Structure 1
Amino acid sequence: MTSTVTSAATSTSVSSTASATCVNNIPPGKNGYLPPESCDAVLYYVPSFAAAILFCALYGLTTIVHIVQAVAYKKGYAWVVIMGAAWELGAFVFRTLQTRHQNSDLFDTGYTIFFLLAPIWINAFLYMTLGRMVNFFLPDKKLGRINARRFGLIFVCLDILAFMVQLGGAALSSNTGESIKTVMLGLHLYMGGIGLQELFILCFLALTIHLHRKLLQLERSGTETDLQKLSHGSYPWRWLFYTIYVALGLITVRIIFRIAQYAQGTSTSNQILTHEVYEYVFDAVPMFLALIVLNVFHPGRILQGPDSKFIKLTRAEKKEKKRTARMEKERKKRGSWGSDDSASYSLQTHGTRGHAPEYSGHEYGV
């Protein structure tokens, strides 16, 4: 999740921190425009209608392609990245409406919320994809002692944690009537949440590189089954890793931009806040490119077959699996069957060596 405190947070924080100098009752201009010095101003600039329409079209196209690919490759979990693309589209639909109603709190809030939440889906899709790669490629289906099924869940939960911190900071910084100290605390909390998110991304990246190296080793000395999986798909397995690296890099670019954006505060002297182009170049464009990369090198083109998805077990199967794991754990505690204890057990059960006892059919449940 890569979130952003957008125009709503900016404008309201300025209203609260500069109420002594702002001007009330300025009549709105064309499309509801109010200058930055107005107490009721929502934006520091005039938003571009053409740019909003362009990104509506771009995000609309990638959303459609992701839907088609999810169906074609039978990847049910791809609904996550579809949500990310659709929410980005929703953000720019509100942005388009806002260009014609620049002082509308409704359109500004819609744009802010969708733009704030959309990237969490894209990040989650990367986490879930790596979990399925572990399940698909590795014989023991574990990476760094983490079970493949739990892999994505752990990182998605961490992503949500970072998001909640950012959301709390955004709420404080965008609350009208708060003091300068409270607004700045909100901005610092928001930037701390972004830093926390980047920390989780770096941990995830380290595990991704670890898996990459393990697959390189399997390619050199793996079994025939391992090699068949590595050669499976319509393009080399390495490109799936390159796709994850690129997408994570683009998300990191956006995180760095957001930290730089608010490091200078929220006054009109901050050039990043008074020019819309920065938000497009370092925010909208990177997330669009991340979605396009996932279109071109979709995980479904490589992860195909039984191990490419997690099989849902019935309640009885789950109980049996736990029972088997418990028995295996107890067996390991007793030691191997070649130990002295197991030898004594064998003599007690079978009598002399080479003479097995006779069992009735009832004892075997026959």
Structure 2
Amino acid sequence: MNRENLYGYNPSIAAAVIFILLFTATTVYHIWQLTKSRCRYFIPFVIGGIFQIIGYICRADANNNLSSVTIYAIQSVLILLAPPMYAASVYMVLGRLVHYLNAESLCIVRVKWMTKIFVSGDVFVFLLQAGGGGLMASHKTSTRNTGSNVVMFGLVVQLLFFGFFVVTAAIFHFRISKYPTTKAASDIQRTTGQGWKQRNWKTVLLALYAVCTLILIRCIYRLIEYKYGYSGYLMTHEAFTYIFDALLMFVAMVIMNVYHPAVILGDGKSYMMHGSEGMRL
């Protein structure tokens, strides 16, 4: 790889600008939804959107600054860290949904521990990927390889936590569908709209599954990308980054725009105050 080019290619200004505009649109809408509903549990998701915007602004600027360690570090770290921020909100939504449905007995993880376990894991992933991303912003091959290995380890940890979360959500979904609580049954009866316009606890869960699937695909892509290193086909062809990272994460944000959990859960406070102390974010 050219010592003066940290990317291995010339980053596309056009592609970066397109995703700056796309992420700005969905993030601004998320900010409006957050302000309207006051759902503080969705703050990390919005921060993830802001990370994406700044990250792709830096990628656009990188076209004329191929050797800038600062620009490379900012775009690399922020784009890596956006999905863990999405995950933090996704974890908190499930905990609040379980409380909302009065169905704690149907969840394999106690709600008072759910957010603590998954968000703590997410913070660990966040720190690993932040540290690894920082090390990758180096001209030294050995340091870059170390950073890549740290990021790979972070991605594996993220996959493990995400996998456990999806299993937890799926088991809860199966149980609440088979043994619905009074609240779950009444919520379905009060459902308005037809088809994709329906809004109830089931659509919230389906939206979480969709977002989790997109993040998992993105994590697997990143894991393969780093496994084959800086001279690998994925790492040296920018199009894959936009297809398997930028595009998937944009779709994830749009899904949560359309099926925003606050439509069902509101600010998440009214039914949480009597519950676990660790769930009040």
TM over 0.5: yes
- The match for 2:186 is 228
- The within-5 A match list for 1:142-157 is 143-146=107-110, 148-157=111-120
Unaligned runs of 5+ in 1: 1-35, 319-366
**Alignment match, 1:311:** 273
In structure 2, the CA distance between the partners of 1:150 and 1:177, relative to structure 1 (3 Å rule), is same
Say which is worse superposed, 167-176 or 98-107, in terms of deviation.
167-176
Query: 1:279 is aligned with what amino acid?
Result: T
Structure 2 Cα separation of the partners of residues 300 and 93 of structure 1: 30
Cα deviation, residue 237, structure 1: 2.4
Deviates more, 1:288-297 or 1:66-75: 66-75
Q: Following the alignment from structure 1 to structure 2, what is the Cα–Cα distance between the partners of residues 306 and 103?
A: 46
Which aligned pairs between 1:288-299 and structure 2 lie closer than 5 A?
Answer: 288-299=250-261
Task: Please give the secondary structure, in 1, of the residue aligned with 2:200.
Answer: coil
**Secondary structure of 1:273's aligned partner:** coil
Gaps of 5+ in 2: 193-198
Q: Which has the higher contact order (CA 8 A, sep 6+)?
A: 2
Task: Choose 1 or 2 for highest CA Rg.
Answer: 1
Q: Give 1 or 2: higher helix fraction.
A: 2
Does 1:84 pair with 2:52?
Answer: no
Question: Quick one: which of 251, 256, 262 aligns to 1:300?
Answer: 262
Match of 1:188 among 114, 134, 149: 149
How far has the Cα of 1:84 moved from its partner? Answer: 0.8
Measure, in 1, the Cα distance between the counterparts of 2:107 and 2:80: 31
Give the 3-state SS of the residue equivalent to 2:230 in structure 1. Answer: coil
Q: How many residues align?
A: 270
- Find 2:123's aligned residue among 150, 155, 160: 160
The residue aligned with 2:160 is 199
CA distance in structure 2 between the partners assigned to 1:106 and 1:175 by the alignment: 10
Distance 1:177 1:304 in 2: 49
Q: Deviations over 1:103-141 (max 9, x none)?
A: 333322221221122222101010010010011012547
CA distance in 1, matches of 2:52, 2:202: 28
TM-score for the superposition, normalised by structure 1: 0.67
Partner of 2:195: none
What letter corresponds to residue 151 of structure 1 in structure 2?
M
C-alpha spacing 1:298/1:141, structure 2 compared with 1 (3 Å): farther
TM-score relative to the length of structure 2: 0.85
Q: How far does residue 177 in structure 1 lie from its aligned partner after superposition?
A: 4.2
Instruction: Tell me the C-alpha RMSD between the 2 structures.
Output: 2.6
Q: What is the percent sequence identity of the aligned residues?
A: 28
Distance in structure 1 (CA, Å) of the matches to 2:141 and 2:15: 33
- Which residue, out of 97, 121, 133, partners 2:97? 133
Between the aligned partners of 2:77 and 2:141, the Cα distance in structure 1 is 21
Inter-partner Cα distance in structure 1 for 2:176 and 2:252: 24
Q: Confirm or deny: 8 A CA contact 1:49 1:96 kept in the other structure.
A: yes
More displaced, 199-208 or 182-191? 182-191
